[in-house]
Amino acid sequence: MDPLSLLRKAGLEAEGPPVPLHGGDMARVYRVGAYVVKTAEDPPRGLFPAEAEGLSALRAWGAPVPRVYWWGEEGLVLEYLPPGPEDWEGLGRGLAALHRGRGEAYWAGAGFLGTFPLPGRQGGDWTEFFFLRCVEPFLRATWKRLGGLGPKVEALFHRPLPTEGPSPLHGDLWHGNVHFSQRGPVLLDPSFFVGERGVDLAMMRLFGGFSETFWRAYREAYPVPEEVERALPRYQVYYLLAHVHFFGEGYLGALWKAISAS
């Protein structure tokens, strides 16, 4: 659906022509006046409602996110937040505050990483929760492309992952999902669930882009235990399997490196 038609369906008035914005690999994103309109070609059912629910969940936990004006199967309408100065220190403190939050149990609704559907799950042992909810679906989807790495991935989760307590997670926190606005740092495009903060830390480390100022502020606000640091390659396996699924065997080398570091 084109952005102006989607705005009309949402009952909102367009202010000027659509201007394309960078929207990653999964969606088409436009600024239309005070709004950001996201849509996609034949999106999987539930994709945009899940994103709206994730943004609402992050907001409920105190994280800065854009306001959601409307969502449906066709797309999503958010507030437009004009770009502002980079504030890595503020981002570090804010993310540490989010991760310090504690849920009653591990929890995930049925959702997505990119356009890949992930099942809902609630409670239980963290290592089993993370493997069954996050890793195993991608492992099944990529098994024939892994060249013998599948059993090695499975073996990684025979050992327990360290636990600090159930925390609200962005779930897909690479640097492209951070926006520095005039109101300060804002989180975008979540794959929200309640789990261990190592999941977010692992994604931030995987492809870089987060400054040393960020890491210093984060660690000062919420130090990272050595056992969590050592577990980050196992969490990165999740995201690398996703990249093998979406982008191909070129990520098998990085996957092997993460397995070897685990």
Largest CA distance in the chain: 56
CB 232 within 8 A of CB 262: no
Q: Give the three-class secondary structure for 184.
A: strand
Amino acid at 96: A
Q: Give the three-class secondary structure for 93.
A: helix
Strands (E), 40-188: 68-72, 75-79, 107-108, 111-113, 116-118, 121-122, 167-169, 178-181, 184-187
CB 188 within 8 A of CB 65: yes
Q: Is residue 200 flagged as an active site residue?
A: no
Of 36, 38, 34, residue with least CA distance to 15:
34
| Given 25, 42, 172, 189, the catalytic residue | 172
Question: Which residues have a catalytic role annotated?
Answer: 172
